Homo-oligomer: A and B are copies of this chain.
Amino acid sequence: MPQTFVIAQGGGPTAVINQTLAGIVLEARRRHPGAKVLGARHGVRGIRDGDYVDLSDIPEEQLRRIAATPSAALGSTRDKPDAAYCDVVLSGLKKVGADAFVYIGGNDTAGTQQILTDASGGGMAFVHAPKTIDNDLMENDHTPGFISAAEFVAGAFLSIDLDFRALPGIYVGIVMGRHAGFLTAAAAAWRDEDSDGPHLLYVPERAFSVPRFVSDIKETMGRYGRCVVAISEGVSTADGRSLVESLVSPDRLERDAHGNVKLSGSDLNRALEQALAEGLPGTRARVDALGYVPRGYVGAVNHTDAQEAFDAGVFAVEVAERGGGSVALQEDDGKTVIRQVALSDVAGKTRHMPDDFMLTDVNHIAQPGLDYLKRLVPGKFPIGRPFV
């Protein structure tokens, strides 16, 4: 039975990733009295550098307060360790006598756990606990962090649409999501009538074309006198290039440490603004990136999301006892159940929106997609219909 747990958090923060942390710590202490529970600061980087916070004796009350606080309390990292980095991490884990390492994160994080499992030769349990606002983990119905972010996005677009009813024009809101459009689709979760925005959704699962974008908006302006658009930062043109790569000259593209093109930023905003200025001259238009607020806004922590994230952490301790694997939120007869799945089924893979979630002829959500979203983020703000 594990006596020394190491826990870390990887990738982008969410509103509820600290619930998972608290779930792991409290369950590990409950099932293994006297166990040592170490939190590595900034993901695997903390293990590499021997930078830990001892969570063995932190009062439960303090942990519960941290659990209710968005973002990653241990710090996070974008490091995706290769084999050599993983060797250093393995040595670090052995140095502190770890029996189990639970890493909370997305598919890259699961990938790290897969590499560590393969390299360790046994004797240590590697567990992946799910987390991502992108909702793009295989084997999962949805992921901890998604519901809160989706609720924020749904509310933001409901609000923006009311704003643009009052002062008409074009609004384009850029939503996070490199490969999967779930969070962007959530912008439409709380629409009520046909005239309600967002009127158009552009997601990575559908090829993007600027001329089509402009003509879609023209048509919507003609019909409703305003147009509210939600677009994923990760939309790609038919040639497979991201929109920002299609629109910005190669020498001006910004990249992160992994060589990934920086999808959002003023270049994307400007390119979309210019397309609108040329295609619909003289029409009031605003392009904004929602940015980081949706993934951890203190005012939009969803209760179900928080509970599921906590429960995923609790279950991760059981998976550690079983020797390791990945924790998944699955759907069973309308209810969320937490199950163990193989790391290899999650690691490095991306779950896209099912094809039938989006209409084929119009850039908008289809009924199955709406049903899915309404199950996860039922409307919570009753709206009085405006007079315009």
Q: Is A53 an interface residue (CB 8 A)?
A: yes
Known contacts A76-B167, A293-B160: A39-B155 contact under CB 8 Å = no
Q: Which residues of chain B are within 8 angstroms of A62 by Cβ–Cβ distance? A: 384
Q: Is A221 an interface residue (CB 8 A)?
A: no
Q: For window 248-302 of chain A, which residues contact chain B by CB distance below 8 Å?
A: 256, 265-267, 269-270, 273, 284, 286-293, 295-300
- The answer for the CA separation of A291 and B174 in the assembled complex, in Å, is 12
Interface size class of A (residues with CB under 8 A): 35 or more
Complex Cα spacing A289 to B287, Å? 10
A182 in the interface (beta carbon within 8 A): no
> For the complex, is A122 an interface residue (Cβ under 8 Å from B)?
no
* Residue numbers in B under 8 Å from A384 (CB-CB): 18, 62-69, 73
Query: A288 touching B286 by the CB < 8 A rule?
Result: no
Q: Does A20 contact B (CB under 8 A)?
A: no
Interface residues of A in 142-198 (CB under 8 A from B): 151-152, 155-156, 158-160, 162-163, 165-167, 171, 173
**Centre residue among A18, A42, A167, A385 by max chain B CB count within 10 A:** A167
Contact partners of A12 in chain B: CB under 8 A = 167
Residues from chain B with a CB closer than 8 A to the CB of A77 are: 167
Q: In chain B, what residue has the closest Cβ to A66?
A: B384
> Which one, B68, B75, B382, contacts A387 given CB within 8 A?
B75
Residue of B whose beta carbon sits closest to that of A291: B288
Knowing A155-B297, A299-B381, the reply to whether A66 touches B160 (Cβ < 8 A) is no
Complex Cα–Cα for A53 and B387 (A): 7
Are the C-beta atoms of A152 and B296 separated by less than 8 Å?
A: no
Q: Is A13 part of the binding interface, using a Cβ–Cβ cutoff of 8 Å?
A: yes
Instruction: Report the Cα distance A376→B75, complex, angstroms.
Output: 32
Q: Which of B42, B292, B383 contacts A163 (CB 8 A)?
A: B292
A100 CB → nearest B CB, Å = 20
Contact for A298 among B75, B296, B381, CB less than 8 A = B381
The listed residue (B66, B151, B270) touching A270 by CB distance below 8 A is B270
**A386 to chain B: which residues have CB within 8 Å?**
66, 69, 71-75
Is the beta-carbon distance between A162 and B300 smaller than 8 angstroms? no
- Assess A166 versus B286: contact at CB under 8 Å? Given A155-B298, A269-B269, A383-B65: no
- Decide if B70 touches A162 in the complex (CB within 8 Å): yes
14 contacts between A and B (CB under 8 A): A13-B166, A42-B388, A63-B384, A71-B165, A73-B386, A75-B166, A159-B296, A163-B295, A266-B266, A266-B267, A266-B269, A286-B291, A288-B288, A298-B381
Nearest 4 interchain pairs by C-beta: A66-B384, A65-B384, A71-B162, A75-B388
Additional 4 contacts, C-beta under 8 A, given A13-B167, A78-B167, A270-B270: A9-B166, A173-B291, A266-B270, A266-B273
